[in-house]
Structure 1
Amino acid sequence: MCGIAGLFDTRGRRDFDRALMQRMNDIQYHRGPDEGDLYFEPGLAFGHRRLSIIDISTGQQPLFNEDGSVAVVFNGEIYNFQELVPELEALGHVFHTRSDTEVIVHAWESWGEDCVTRFRGMFAFVLWDRNQQTLFMARDRLGVKPLHYAILDDGTLIFGSELKVLMQHPGLDRRIDPLAVEEYFALGYVAEPRTIFKGARKLQPAESLCIRRGQAIPAPRCYWDVRFSLDNPVSLAEATGELTERLRESVRLRMIAEVPLGAFLSGGVDSSAVVATMAGLSEEPVNTCSIAFDDPKFNESEFAQMVADRYRTRHFVETVKSDDFDLIDTLAALYDEPYADSSAIPTYRVCQLARKQVTVALSGDGGDESFGGYRRYRMHLMEERMRSAMPHGVRRPVFGLLGRLYPKADWAPRVFRAKTTFQALARDSVQAYFHSVSILRDEMRRSLFSTDFRRQLGGYNAIEVFRRHADQAQTDDALALIQYIDLKTYLVGDINTKVDRASMAHSLEVREPLMDHKLVEWLATLPSGLKIKGQEGKYLFKKAMEPLLPNDVLYRPKMGFSVPLARWFRGPLKQRVRDAVLGDTLAATGIFNRNYLQHLVDAHQSGARDYSASLWTVLMFEAFLRNEGSVGSDSTAPRINRV
């Protein structure tokens, strides 16, 4: 795993400043502490930080083809590189390393832009072909690895694994994008391809961008998509058998490493299945790492221990105190833009623990999206059945009125919390799902933002992110539609972002067997009834794992990786929240309605409402603003409080 950075003159061959390139590369030292190098030629500069995993002795980057005309900087792993080497050798290519990176340059020479369709793995890379005067960049299909870029007014393209790399350049437009703010307060992250800054973009998953010097810069190209055909006639018995074999193959590919390797083990179905599969493929005990919490409401360590005992793993556990809130500013520095998933705290801690034992860790991320594991999926299907029983023209006025009149009752037993259900029934499927996953829902964001800021939004609503993907989903199946949306949004913007930054902060490589694109493609052919059956999520996955895992692990309620925000904000963080939310930093932006910020703080701290998720979202935005001022170049670019 690595960090990449670079500069490219899209119009000519200007020389770039070595000191600038050095800063861009050094700011991501944590992504690759083993080695670092720079490469320059007229109109081009590449930087690379290396975390050595495969071919430790000869896998340095930038890496070149035989005559030095093609160079690449690469972050990730190509898991099928051993299969591609003989194929490329048969086409006349000569390999000088045992590195998966070298496959990229030769694949480009043989297959051009289509080379990415041959790669199975997680990757973000930028390649320079001097003979064709072409810069080519690409990102893996499910967005496991990040790639940020910006095209400046003078024709310079800058890129980097993290946004902080781009922030070193004095020409980057660092004004806040109002549409990104709207997306953040709805979703808890800024959705691809946007970043928090007007001047920077993220290359989206399964996108490539090919730029020929001196020509107009094209739009990125999508080279892959998942199609939920749901037309596989396989039986349950056949599906469980094939799933087990596909998981074994995916795990086997991800166990290739020349450094210590292990796995996260939370005690949930996904990570437990990965560990069980690893144990069946390894002659040595698997290294497993778990975080325990001193608050029993959040502690899953006993279930992780069950799996560790069953497979006799080398199990490492550290207990996190329930008041482990010292990471707020650390997280702001890691993520570079507002990011509001509070499970980033325990994720950071488990990566910190794992790095003490291993350099590569396998995780269970991606299982909920493909197997149908989220509780919100079951709720959505229930609501869809109710929506289908009544035309939208009738539902909208009836349930819309009930949703407005019915009091919000977070404190009440679930059966009496009907307001959200009424609101959902008044909407169409995409609106309802967006409403259910939004941190601050539409009416809350309208209250949160100032009149002037709402005017700058020009009517934009973050639901457009979901609409855009729903239009591409090619399915009207209720479950498949929201799975597709999550694969394009939540998995990428939240889960993958969280794990990449938390792991790279500790120079740890994390690999995700459940995000293997061939596995995801196959699962998308299976009927939705094999994923959710009645009230049982991950039905097929659990059935397939019954011979390998205890029922107490498979069929217990899902806990998640959460922290006690509500208690923190009424207790040890009470004053900090009040100072941050109502302080000068947020006030100076002109984005917020201070009266509503006051309401959020007062209502939560009095116990009248649980606004912990909303307050965390505001708190992390404020932490981002403070951090942004300390990261970057000597630029005189517009400050963060200007939009």
Structure 2
Amino acid sequence: MCGIAGIFHLSDQANIDAGLIAQMNDRQIHRGPDAGDYFFDPGVALAHRRLSIIDLEGSPQPMLSADKRACVVFNGEIYNFKELHQELAAKGYKFNTHGDTETILNAYLEWGEECVHKLRGMFAFAIWDRQKQSLFIARDRLGIKPFFYSLLPNGEFIFGSELKVITAHPAFDKTLRNTTIEDYFSLGYIPEPHTIYHNAFKLDPGHTLTLHKGDNGLPASKEYWDVPIDYANPLDQKEIDEQLIERLKEAVDIRMVADVPLGSFLSGGVDSSAVVAMMSQLQSEPVNTCAIGFDVKEFNETEYAQSVADRYHTNHRVEIVGQDDFDLVDQLAHLYDEPYADSSAIPTYRVCQLARKHVTVALSGDGGDELFAGYSRYIRHQLEEKVRNILPLGVRKPLFSPLGKYYPKLDWAPRFLRAKTTFQSMAMDTVEGYHNTMSILRTDERAKLFSEDYKRSLNGYNSLEVFKKYGDKVKHLDETKIAQYIDMKTYLVGDILTKVDRASMAHSLEVRVPIIDHKFVEWAFNVPTDKNLAHGIGKLSFKKALEPHLPHDVLYRKKMGFAVPLANWFRGPLKDRLYDGVLSKKMTESGYFNEKHLRRLIDDHVTGRRDNSASLWTLMMFESFLRQQKAS
């Protein structure tokens, strides 16, 4: 696990300033504190920061091929590198190391850009090909590892593992992208391929990008993999029962190779518990596990984590986070480099901090809810779709639109009375309704939040377009599969995997994610919806398969999530900070917001009339970003 960076001039053959590439690379030293080095060719500079995991001394980067033709910088892990090593050695390729980096290099020399199809793992890499005078870039299929890039006006293509690497270049233009501000206040993150900056991008998961000397501008990236959307051969119950555990165990097994201490997160939820159960069955010594608890009962899952730890006799470590643990608020903007509003970044940071005291590699259970339909919102979405199928849009829209508009926002009421979002969604089609459900601030709320000038500058753009792009691709699937696919393309990569990558790498901790192993995904996405969602229970096929391996209370209790008590913070210890930040000059003079509505959001929350905590956290994180951007 590492950080990579580079500069590739599309036309100029002059040497790249060594001080400049070092300055960029030093911004991500936390990703690779063990070593750092550079490679230079005319018009090319590649940089690397190394966190040693496999072949601790023998795989320095940047790495040149044996014939000196190609050079690679690589972030991630290739889990099938030993098999590829044997295959390539049989073809005559020489290996001077025992790690996965040289395997990527030789795979490229043998199969060219098609080498990505051979790789199983999480990765982002760039290969400079001296013979072709080209730079070949690839990102793993699910987007576990990040890749940021920009083309500067002077013809320099710059890239890095974090956005702060890009912004370190003095010629980078920090003009913000208007549409991604709309995306952020809808979704709480900025979805691929854009960033908060107009001229910086994220390479989409499952895509490659090839640049050649002499290119005039950026070529389009190419998709080499996607979640299997043909859904031609749905699995029957017998196949699920026979195969799920063995396939999951295999995905876990290949992620347990490391030359450093290894363990797992154990939140007490189904997914991390499943990973720990598989690990415990694959090794004789106890698994190292860690959990973060809260001193507020309704947010604390440690008793469930302990029951799994006791069952498998793990080396379990727990730390309790106080309800006033908000010291990280100002660090988050620096950690994520762009506005990011998932407040569970705080406990994620803490559990990574705890894990790093004992291990260098940790496995996590991320991706299970998206893959097996575990979120409760999928059940609500399915119920809404039943009404859509009964009543045509021409009937639903005039019936539900007024209800959605005038029904009060009853945050304090029981869930069955909090129907405003549901009424709004019922007046929409499948994708628009799901987008409405997923929005932190819905379209009507963003209309109140934003200034008239900013709304005009959007020229009608709405973050719904992000969902429609993916929804249109899978409109032949049922409503739940559509929602799962959209989540895997947006929420999983933009929120969940981003959160874990930045929080873990801030502590030089490598996190591996077996549930979204691409081979497991290709198999599991063919589990029919009626096997995943039934009797009001989500992720049912996954849970039933795990019944011999986990306690019933862990499998079938109500999902808690990894939340923090924001509502209480904003009415107590963070109240002054809320007013000072959200109503600061940086916010009110930014041109984005309606100042009166900003004040109304705070006042309604502080007085208890509304629970606006999610919206206010989103605003606070945006203000933190603006403050950091001005200081950098």
TM-score per shorter chain, which class? over 0.9
8 Å CA contact retained: 1:228, 1:474: no
SS of the residue 2:473 aligns to: coil
2:510 alignment partner AA: E
Aligned partners of 1:69 and 1:476: how far apart in 2? Answer: 46
8 Å CA contact retained: 2:189, 2:340: yes
1:377 alignment partner AA: Y
Aligned partners of 2:187 and 2:408: how far apart in 1? Answer: 24
Aligned partners of 1:233 and 1:506: how far apart in 2? Answer: 41
The equivalent residue for 2:26 is: 26
Aligned partners of 2:535 and 2:165: how far apart in 1? Answer: 48
Aligned partners of 1:322 and 1:432: how far apart in 2? Answer: 34
The equivalent residue for 1:221 is: 222
The equivalent residue for 2:407 is: 406
TM-score if structure 2 supplies the norm length?
0.99
8 Å CA contact retained: 2:404, 2:424: yes
* 2:126 aligned with 1:126: yes
How many Å apart are 1:318 and its aligned residue? 0.5
How many Å apart are 1:154 and its aligned residue? 1.4
How many Å apart are 1:233 and its aligned residue? 5.3
Aligned partners of 1:341 and 1:332: how far apart in 2? Answer: 12
How many Å apart are 1:420 and its aligned residue? 1.7
1:619 alignment partner AA: M
Aligned partners of 2:476 and 2:46: how far apart in 1? Answer: 42
Aligned partners of 2:494 and 2:527: how far apart in 1? Answer: 26
8 Å CA contact retained: 2:124, 2:137: yes
Unaligned 5+ runs, structure 1:
632-643
How many Å apart are 1:14 and its aligned residue? 2.1
The equivalent residue for 1:249 is: 250
8 Å CA contact retained: 1:229, 1:525: no
8 Å CA contact retained: 2:191, 2:490: yes
* 2:394 aligned with 1:384: no
TM-score if structure 1 supplies the norm length?
0.97
* 2:515 aligned with 1:514: yes
Within 5 Å, which residues of 2 pair with 1:189-228?
A: 189-216=189-216, 217-228=218-229
SS of the residue 1:49 aligns to: strand
250-259 or 218-227, which deviates more: 218-227
Aligned partners of 2:391 and 2:476: how far apart in 1? Answer: 21
8 Å CA contact retained: 1:240, 1:541: no
8 Å CA contact retained: 1:307, 1:549: yes
Deviations 1:277-307 (A, max 9, x none): 0000001110000011111110000000000
Aligned partners of 2:50 and 2:238: how far apart in 1? Answer: 44
1:59 alignment partner AA: S
Deviations 1:566-619 (A, max 9, x none): 010001101100110111121231111101101101111111111000000000
The equivalent residue for 1:147 is: 147
Aligned partners of 2:338 and 2:560: how far apart in 1? Answer: 27
SS of the residue 1:364 aligns to: coil
1:98 alignment partner AA: H
1:610 alignment partner AA: D
8 Å CA contact retained: 1:150, 1:201: yes
Within 5 Å, which residues of 2 pair with 1:301-316?
A: 301-316=302-317
Aligned partners of 1:93 and 1:564: how far apart in 2? Answer: 56
The percent identity for this pair of structures is 58
* 2:461 aligned with 1:460: yes
Aligned partners of 1:61 and 1:73: how far apart in 2? Answer: 6
Deviations 1:397-425 (A, max 9, x none): 11112212222211112222222211111
The equivalent residue for 1:295 is: 296
The equivalent residue for 2:477 is: 476
8 Å CA contact retained: 1:279, 1:286: yes
SS of the residue 1:288 aligns to: strand
8 Å CA contact retained: 2:235, 2:528: no
How many Å apart are 1:101 and its aligned residue? 0.7
Within 5 Å, which residues of 2 pair with 1:331-410?
A: 331-410=332-411
How many Å apart are 1:338 and its aligned residue? 0.2
1:522 alignment partner AA: W
Deviations 1:341-374 (A, max 9, x none): 0000000000000000000000000000001100
Aligned partners of 1:229 and 1:328: how far apart in 2? Answer: 43
* 2:547 aligned with 1:546: yes
How many Å apart are 1:629 and its aligned residue? 2.4
The equivalent residue for 1:641 is: none
Deviations 1:102-136 (A, max 9, x none): 11111111111111111111000011000110101
* 2:446 aligned with 1:436: no
The equivalent residue for 1:5 is: 5
Higher relative contact order (Cα pairs below 8 Å, separated by 6+ residues): 1
8 Å CA contact retained: 1:232, 1:527: no
Aligned partners of 2:165 and 2:61: how far apart in 1? Answer: 18
The equivalent residue for 2:626 is: 625
How many Å apart are 1:476 and its aligned residue? 2.8
8 Å CA contact retained: 1:138, 1:209: yes
Aligned partners of 1:327 and 1:522: how far apart in 2? Answer: 39
622-631 or 102-111, which deviates more: 622-631
Aligned partners of 2:333 and 2:369: how far apart in 1? Answer: 26
450-459 or 134-143, which deviates more: 450-459
Deviations 1:436-477 (A, max 9, x none): 010011011111111111111111100100011112225331
1:401 alignment partner AA: P
SS of the residue 1:36 aligns to: strand
Deviations 1:314-357 (A, max 9, x none): 00111100111110111110000000000000000000000000
SS of the residue 1:484 aligns to: helix
* 2:104 aligned with 1:66: no
Deviations 1:475-505 (A, max 9, x none): 3311110100000000000000000000000
Q: When the two structures are aligned, how many residues end up with a matched partner?
A: 631
The equivalent residue for 1:582 is: 583
Aligned partners of 2:168 and 2:430: how far apart in 1? Answer: 42
Aligned partners of 1:89 and 1:574: how far apart in 2? Answer: 63
2:169 alignment partner AA: H
How many Å apart are 1:231 and its aligned residue? 4.3
8 Å CA contact retained: 1:270, 1:367: yes
Aligned partners of 1:307 and 1:548: how far apart in 2? Answer: 9
The equivalent residue for 1:639 is: none
The equivalent residue for 1:84 is: 84
Aligned partners of 2:476 and 2:101: how far apart in 1? Answer: 37
* 2:498 aligned with 1:497: yes
1:306 alignment partner AA: S
The equivalent residue for 1:601 is: 602
The equivalent residue for 1:16 is: 16
Unaligned 5+ runs, structure 2:
none
Distance 1:575 1:544, change over 3 A: same
Deviations 1:223-261 (A, max 9, x none): 111123444354324312201010011000100100000
Deviations 1:522-553 (A, max 9, x none): 11222111111121101010011000000010
How many Å apart are 1:40 and its aligned residue? 1.2
The equivalent residue for 2:419 is: 418
How many Å apart are 1:164 and its aligned residue? 0.2
SS of the residue 1:471 aligns to: helix
8 Å CA contact retained: 1:228, 1:480: no
The equivalent residue for 1:572 is: 573
Aligned partners of 2:220 and 2:6: how far apart in 1? Answer: 19
421-430 or 495-504, which deviates more: 421-430
1:165 alignment partner AA: V
How many Å apart are 1:16 and its aligned residue? 1.3
8 Å CA contact retained: 1:230, 1:526: no
RMSD after superposition: 1.0
The equivalent residue for 1:325 is: 326
Aligned partners of 1:470 and 1:464: how far apart in 2? Answer: 10
The equivalent residue for 1:640 is: none
SS of the residue 1:262 aligns to: strand
Aligned partners of 1:309 and 1:47: how far apart in 2? Answer: 45
Aligned partners of 2:63 and 2:168: how far apart in 1? Answer: 24
SS of the residue 1:247 aligns to: helix
SS of the residue 1:472 aligns to: helix
Aligned partners of 1:90 and 1:132: how far apart in 2? Answer: 25
The equivalent residue for 1:636 is: none
8 Å CA contact retained: 1:227, 1:474: no
8 Å CA contact retained: 2:378, 2:480: yes
Aligned partners of 1:312 and 1:516: how far apart in 2? Answer: 26
* 2:535 aligned with 1:534: yes
